[in-house]
Chain A
C-alpha cells in the first residue's frame, strides 16, 4: 500500500517510520495485519495533520508509541513466547540503546528547528516531528530499559540500588505522563521535566552503588555518565550561567545529551551482554 504522492512530508515521514516500527510485532501478525495497520495509521496521520498540524502529529505519535509498545508485548505474549528474565533483560538492553539513539537524534535534529509553527511543513516539520518521535518513543524505551535493569540487577545492587532503580522507573513513568498530558494540563511541561530529572538523578546515584558493588561486569561508571548530564544542565539553567538569556548555553545542552545517550548506550550494551550470566549471579 503506497502512500499517495500528495501526502504532506510529515505524514510521509511518519508512515515510513511506523512501517519500520511494525517490525517489532511477531512476523505472522505483521504479515496478516501490518499493511492494514499502516493504512489506518496513514488515514489518522492525514486527519490529525489536517486538524492540528505538527502539534496534532506530535500528540498522535505520543499515543501511537504507547499503543505500539503495549500491543507488541501483548502479541508476543500471545504468540506463546516465554520471555524469561534473561530474554527480558537482553531485550530491555536493546530498548535502552534504541531509546538513547532516538533521544539524542530527536533532540539534536530538533535543535535545528526555527520554532516557526507553520503547519504547511517543509524542513522545520521534519525537525519537529523527529524531536517529538525521539522524545516520546525514547521515553517509552527508557522505561522498558529501566524495568529490565531492575529485573536483572536487583540482587547485585542491594536494597538501596533496587530502591534507586524503582525511583528512576517512577520518574520515567511520571515524565512520560507529563509528556502525554502537556497539551491537556498547564503544568504538563513541569511534570515531564521533573520526572525526567528525577529519573536521571536516581540513575546517577545508582551509578555510585554500581561502582561500589561492581554491579556490572564492566563500565560501572555508565549510570553516572547517563544520569548526571540532564540534572547538571537544569542546574546550569536555574543558576542562569548565560546571563543574557537566563538559560543554559547551547553547547551545554549538546554535552548533556551526548553524556546521557552515551551512558545509556553503555548500560544497554552491558545488559544484553551480561544477560546470560545474571541467573547465577543474582
Chain B
C-alpha cells in the first residue's frame, strides 16, 4: 500500500480492499459482519477467508483507509470482545475515486459495445477471495 495520502495513489484497489471499503460504506462493522455483507452483496461469489480479511484490515489500518471504532451499537446485543471498523475520511475518498474509475471503464466498454446495459451481469471485481 502506498504511503502517499492522495486518494489516487491507492488506485487501483485490490478486490479485497475494495469490498471491505464498500461493506463499511453503510456503517461500522466487525469482521464477521464485513464478511457476511460482502457475501450477501455478491450472491456468494466473493468469499473471504479470515486470513485475507484480517491481513487486509491490518494493511488498511496502517494506510489510514479505515479506523477502529470504540462505539458499540448495543453492548447487550453484541460480544464486547469484537472489534468494529469504519471508513476513515481518506477511505471514503479512495472508494469514491475507485468507483468513478470503474464507471469510466464501464462507459468506455459501453462505447465499444463490449458491455450492454440492459440485462447484463456486472463484471465488477468479484473474483473469488477465499484464498485472497
Q: Are A67 and B58 in contact (CB under 8 A)?
A: no
Question: Nearest Cβ distance between residue B11 and chain A, in whole angstroms?
Answer: 21
Task: Say yes or no for A72: interface residue by CB 8 A criterion.
Answer: yes
| Total count of chain A residues near the partner, CB < 8 A | 25
B-chain residues with CB within 8 Å of residue A32 when the two chains form the complex: 58
A29 and B54 CA atoms in complex are apart in Å by 9
Q: Which of B50, B79, B81 contacts A37 (CB 8 A)?
A: B50
Question: Nearest Cβ distance between residue A139 and chain B, in whole angstroms?
Answer: 14
Task: Say yes or no for A64: interface residue by CB 8 A criterion.
Answer: yes
A29 and B59 CA atoms in complex are apart in Å by 11
**Residue interface mask B40-70, A partner, CB < 8 A = 1:** 0000000111111111011000000000000
Task: Say yes or no for A83: interface residue by CB 8 A criterion.
Answer: no
A43 and B130 CA atoms in complex are apart in Å by 16
A-chain residues with CB within 8 Å of residue B31 when the two chains form the complex: 36-37, 39-40
**Residue interface mask B4-31, A partner, CB < 8 A = 1:** 0000000000000000000000000001
Q: Are A71 and B130 in contact (CB under 8 A)?
A: no
Closest A residue, CB atoms, query B55: A71
Q: Are A67 and B131 in contact (CB under 8 A)?
A: yes
Given A40-B32, A44-B32, does the pair A67, B81 have CB atoms closer than 8 Å? no
Q: Which of B35, B47, B132 contacts A71 (CB 8 A)?
A: B132
Given A63-B47, A68-B49, does the pair A37, B54 have CB atoms closer than 8 Å? yes
Given A68-B49, A68-B51, does the pair A63, B130 have CB atoms closer than 8 Å? yes
A-chain residues with CB within 8 Å of residue B101 when the two chains form the complex: none
A36 and B34 CA atoms in complex are apart in Å by 13
Closest A residue, CB atoms, query B128: A63
Task: Say yes or no for B83: interface residue by CB 8 A criterion.
Answer: yes
Q: Are B35 and A66 in contact (CB under 8 A)?
A: no
Q: Which of A148-176 contact B (CB under 8 A)?
A: none
Q: Which of B49, B55, B57, B79 contacts A66 (CB 8 A)?
A: B49
Q: Are B58 and A29 in contact (CB under 8 A)?
A: yes
B-chain residues with CB within 8 Å of residue A67 when the two chains form the complex: 48-52, 130-132
**Residue interface mask B70-109, A partner, CB < 8 A = 1:** 0000000001011100000000000000000000000000
Given A37-B50, A71-B52, A71-B55, does the pair A66, B131 have CB atoms closer than 8 Å? yes
Q: Are B131 and A36 in contact (CB under 8 A)?
A: no
Q: Are B130 and A40 in contact (CB under 8 A)?
A: no
Q: Are B131 and A41 in contact (CB under 8 A)?
A: no
- Most B CB contacts (10 A, CB to CB) among A44, A72, A75 go to A44
Given A36-B31, A36-B83, does the pair A71, B49 have CB atoms closer than 8 Å? yes
21 A-B pairs with C-beta separation under 8 A: A1-B81, A33-B54, A33-B58, A36-B31, A37-B31, A37-B53, A39-B32, A39-B79, A40-B50, A43-B32, A44-B32, A63-B47, A66-B130, A67-B48, A67-B50, A67-B131, A67-B132, A70-B52, A71-B49, A71-B55, A74-B55
> Can you add 19 more A-B contacts, CB < 8 Å, to A29-B55, A70-B52?
A1-B81, A33-B54, A33-B58, A36-B83, A37-B31, A38-B50, A39-B32, A40-B31, A40-B32, A44-B32, A63-B131, A64-B50, A66-B130, A67-B48, A67-B50, A67-B132, A69-B131, A71-B51, A72-B51
Residues of B within 8 A of A (CB): 31-32, 35, 47-55, 57-58, 79, 81-83, 130-132
Residues of A within 8 A of B (CB): 1, 25, 29, 32-33, 35-41, 43-44, 63-64, 66-72, 74-75
